Amino acid sequence: MSSDVTIWHNPACGTSRNTLAIIRAAGVEPTVVVYLKVGWDSATLQRLVDGAGQGVRGLLREKGTPAGALGLLDPDVEDAVILAAMVEHSILVNRPIVETPKGVRLCRPSEVVLDILENPPSRFAKEDGEIVSL
């Protein structure tokens, strides 16, 4: 059975792990895409950018990436150039991104995912012990 919830996930990221755990606590086994391994295609990435409503720059990860070295932080760089760079260098995409029938979100912080889950858990403990409640 395929899930109607997909998470573009980085297992090395605590925020991404917490987001995945929240989804599972909601009783959903999502499709998990480890995007650093499988990469991106421009159509999927553009769909997620459009759905998240933050623009391409809103999903651009700067910390720990070559974004600066590639000149992507210059405000004059066109969105198409940034999108192409994200497709070429998966690390440039911020994470985690979750898509459900209720929408797309960059889930930073992880509890942002609660807004787009059909049956969010009423209470959840993050890895560090922080309690998230509805």
Distance (Å, rounded) from C-alpha 40 to C-alpha 93? Answer: 9
Q: Find the catalytic residue in 1, 4, 7, 13.
A: 13
* pTM for the structure as a whole: 0.93
Residue pair 14/40 in contact (Cβ under 8 Å)? The answer is no
Q: Domain residues of the chain, as ranges?
A: 6-133
Provide CATH code, domain 6-133: 3.40.30.10
Confidence band for 134, pLDDT divided at 50, 70 and 90: confident
Confidence band for 2, pLDDT divided at 50, 70 and 90: low
Instruction: Order the strands of the 103-106 sheet from edge to edge.
Output: 31-34, 6-9, 97-100, 103-106
Reduced to 3 states (helix: H, G, I; strand: E, B; else coil), residue 28 is coil
How do residues 80-129 score in pLDDT, each as one tens digit? Answer: 999 999 999 999 999 999 999 999 999 999 999 999 999 999 889 999 99
- Give residue 7's pLDDT: 98
* Active site (annotated) includes residue 107: no
- Please choose, from the candidates 31, 27, 7, the residue with its C-alpha nearest in 3D space to the C-alpha of residue 19: 7
Indicate the average pLDDT of the chain: 95
Tell me the average pLDDT across 64-71: 96
